[in-house]
Amino acid sequence: MNDASPGPDASAAIFDVVAIGSALVDVLTDASSEDLARFDMAKGSMTLVDLARAGTLYGAMGPAIEVSGGSAANTAVGVAELGGRVGYLGKVAADELGEIFLHDIAAAGVVLGRTSRVEPSPDPADDRATGRCLVYVTEDGERTMATHLGVASTFGPEDLDEEFVARGQVVYLEGYLWDLDPAKSALRRAMEVAHDADSLVALSLSDPFCVQRHQREFLELLHGDVDLLFANEDETTLLFSASSFDDALVAVEETGILAALTRGAAGSVVVAASGPVHIPADEVAHVADTTGAGDLFAAGFLYGLTHGKDPESCARLGGLCAAEVISHIGARPRADLRQLASGAGLL
């Protein structure tokens, strides 16, 4: 079984992680279950919407907070705040939200590849604006998302900075991009570039609905294309059409890849060569917003992996990062992650 140790040339890599994803700005608001029903949204899900629908939902929102987001971008920021060297590839437009995204991710210490540069100013009436994710946070901290990808949906093979990708120990791919044929082609090419450079490929399944749409292809990727899988309990069970999470764990073991599987308050499970290891969740006094929990778990895990930690220690570091981000509104950490990890004896 593959424990996904960094490849033989990893010491020469400039980046610990190169992340590829949809560059988005999150617009967060408090909501009730009644609100979700009124907007015809399935609680806990992510739904892709067009610009008109995004405008309608935004107009009906209560007071909101705008913060840079995007799944892979959140992970990149987490790695950087732990002290890692991280690069990011995505796409934004020359508008206000695009400027917010570029400023925030660069300020966090993430290096932007050439495809992250601002596009020519778009017509406000078309779909080439910077992507935005409308996030509805209910009282239990659960988040429900309506995402308009905007110009992020145009990311394709021609945008892939292959030299940039080859400079990472790990190339981290956001499963949400699999919904878009040009982006899917770019991700497949990124996998080839990564393996040619003796880098590892990590894939986040992103969302249960994403798994339902692409189950067969995701399963195929586990046989030679992907070295490290990130998924939550529901995504894992759906991926293998299992009747229970325990049955899904057996199926994960049979693939032979390293897997980091999150289970919310039940912690996480790492499936490695030695078998599955269960790691309890860090205590959180109050869960304010689960947005970004999986993203920051991946950040801690990837930082640990690229700095010589064993899989169990990687998962513990991921759990600490996830606990920090769910303690407040927003998908980016507010506390000093490196200081928290050092205080917990994880660095």
- Per-residue confidence (pLDDT) for residue 124, from 0 to 100: 57
Does residue 100 contact residue 32 with C-beta atoms inside 8 Å? no
State the residue range of the domain holding 221.
Answer: 10-23+71-119+153-343
Asked if residue 244 belongs to a domain, the reply is yes
Q: At 236, list the tokens.
A: 């894992």
Asked if residue 3 belongs to a domain, the reply is no
- Per-residue confidence (pLDDT) for residue 94, from 0 to 100: 86
Asked if residue 59 belongs to a domain, the reply is no
- Per-residue confidence (pLDDT) for residue 232, from 0 to 100: 97
Q: Which regions of the chain are under pLDDT 70? A: 1-13, 115-127
String of DSSP letters for 121-164: PPPTTSS-SEEEEEEEE-TTS-EEEEEEEEGGGG--GGG--HHH
- Per-residue confidence (pLDDT) for residue 48, from 0 to 100: 85
Number of other residues whose CB lies within 10 A of the CB of residue 341: 22
* Interval 239-249: pLDDT, tens: 999 999 999 99
CATH number of the domain encompassing residue 193:
3.40.1190.20
Range list of H helices, 64-180: 71-81, 96-107, 162-165
Q: At 41, list the tokens.
A: 């949204």
String of DSSP letters for 242-267: -SSHHHHHHHHHHHTSEEEEE-GGG-
Does residue 22 contact residue 189 with C-beta atoms inside 8 Å? no
Asked if residue 282 belongs to a domain, the reply is yes
pTM assigned to the model: 0.88
Asked if residue 18 belongs to a domain, the reply is yes
Asked if residue 54 belongs to a domain, the reply is no
- Residue 122, amino acid: P
**How many structural domains is the chain composed of?**
1
- Per-residue confidence (pLDDT) for residue 66, from 0 to 100: 84
Does residue 71 contact residue 90 with C-beta atoms inside 8 Å? no
